[in-house]
Amino acid sequence: MINPNSSANRLAMDPDATRAMSDLARKDPKEAVRQAAGQFEAMLMGQLMSSMRASSLSDEEDSQEMDTYRGMYDQQIVQTLVQAGGFGLADALSGYLLKSMPDVPAEIAAEQPALPTAPVVRKALGAYEAVAAPQQALAAASAGEPLSDSKRSFVDTMLPHASQAAAKLGVAPEVLVGHAALESGWGQRAIRHPDGRNSYNLFGIKASPVWKGEVVATMTTEYEGGVAQKQLGAFRSYPSLQAAFDDYARLLSDNPRYQQALNQGQNVAGFASALQRGGYATDPAYAQKLQAVIRTVASI
């Protein structure tokens, strides 16, 4: 295992790590190989973070300050992942290089790990997403990022429909609009029927056997053992936005699992945590993400 206290761990914040690596290479070439492999993995994770952030936030109008703030979060997340052991790529790469070096005992060479298999990589990416996504959402909320016109329009459209349902649940209407924004991607990930009709399913509510209304199938992300996986799921379909909010209010008020989420008023953390404890979603970072989006809505 790569030493978490090595220069690879300092890469996210320490630009002098390369100079230190040169000194180490002269003193202990084998340890230098291990640490260089760790730096390579850290840089790869940094590139992956940058690519994922650019893809997921490509429709947002970012200021220079927001770009800097997110960049700081990127660095911290990479460092956290390195400390947790990374993807295993550093160990595999250093093992491969050490085998080709002279004066390496046969027993040590035989113990070096093989390159990561596809399941290992998928698991690592799932863990990465679980760490990175809530940090990105919290960064946006904490930095006071201005909402785009499309998001403001979403909030303005949803607030009148949310008022009655919010009163029934005992929470602020902005709480429900924030939940709808998280589940629907601010209205950009609408669940549609094969013919293009909108299902108006703003809250990602699945169609259980007791559901008597229309059903629509779509791909969804579920977490098993903390790892994100794509699955095909059956979801409820509604005739209107108001019907969607009304059914959401019935679900939360009638289901014993969500009783702790009721009557929370403007207590965003209490509402979000209660939903996660009740099993509303399998994402281990769901409460953090929900809080960040609700606070963004409430800041308007």
Q: Are 180 and 203 in contact (CB under 8 A)?
A: yes
Q: Over the stretch 104-121, which tens digit does the pLDDT of each residue have?
A: 555 444 544 454 445 544
Residue 92 DSSP symbol? H
pLDDT tens-digit series, residues 42-95: 766 666 666 655 544 444 444 444 555 556 656 666 666 666 565 666 667 666
Reported as type and span, the H/E element at residue 161 is: helix 149-169
The yes-or-no verdict on residue 254 having pLDDT over 90 is: yes
Q: Give the residue carrying structure tokens 């990022």.
A: 145
186 DSSP β-pair partners: none
User: What is the reported pLDDT for 28?
Assistant: 73
Predicted local confidence at residue 294, as pLDDT: 94
92 touches 115 (CB < 8 A): yes
Among residues 164, 170, 167, the alpha carbon closest in space to that of 262 is found at: 170
User: Which one is catalytic: 14, 61, 67, 222?
Assistant: 222
pTM over 0.75: no
Catalytic member of 74, 247, 254, 283 = 247
Asked if the model's pLDDT at residue 202 lies above 80, the reply is yes
Give mean pLDDT, residues 275-290.
Answer: 92
Q: Is 65 a catalytic residue?
A: no
pLDDT band for 299, please (50, 70, 90 cuts): confident
Q: Can you tell me the distance from the alpha carbon of 287 to that of 268, in angstroms, rounded to the nearest whole number?
A: 9
Q: What is the predicted pLDDT for the residue at 166? A: 96
What's the alpha-carbon Rg for the chain, to the nearest Å?
A: 23
